[in-house]
């Protein structure tokens, strides 16, 4: 690997390789951030759906109690 690195021209070692490393790092970081935000939104939507179901159940119980009086 060291031989390959030494055979590269200086402009490739100092310009092209860091740009490729930055692009690869950006892709990896954006994938991780996307996965984290996707998981957060999935959990948020799941909690929101549960809260809506509980609220509807409470409304039904209140309405049934009022109707039975």
- The residues, ordered by sequence, that sit 6+ positions from 17 with a Cβ below 8 Å of its Cβ are 8
For 69, the token pair is 């009086």
Alpha carbon distance 56, 52 (integer Å): 6
**In this prediction, what percent of the chain has a pLDDT beyond 90?**
74
| pLDDT for res 35 | 97
**In this prediction, what percent of the chain has a pLDDT beyond 70?**
100
For 66, the token pair is 């009022």
33-62: per-residue pLDDT in tens? Answer: 999 999 999 999 999 999 999 999 999 999
**pTM above threshold 0.95:** no
């Amino acid at each position: 690997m060291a031989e390959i690195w030494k055979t590269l021209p200086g402009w490739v070692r100092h310009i092209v390789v860091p740009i490729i490393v930055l692009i690869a790092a950006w892709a990896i970081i954006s994938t991780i951030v996307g996965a984290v935000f996707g998981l957060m939104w999935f959990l948020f939507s799941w909690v929101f759906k549960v809260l809506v179901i509980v609220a509807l159940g409470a409304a039904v119980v209140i309405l049934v109690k009022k109707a039975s009086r």
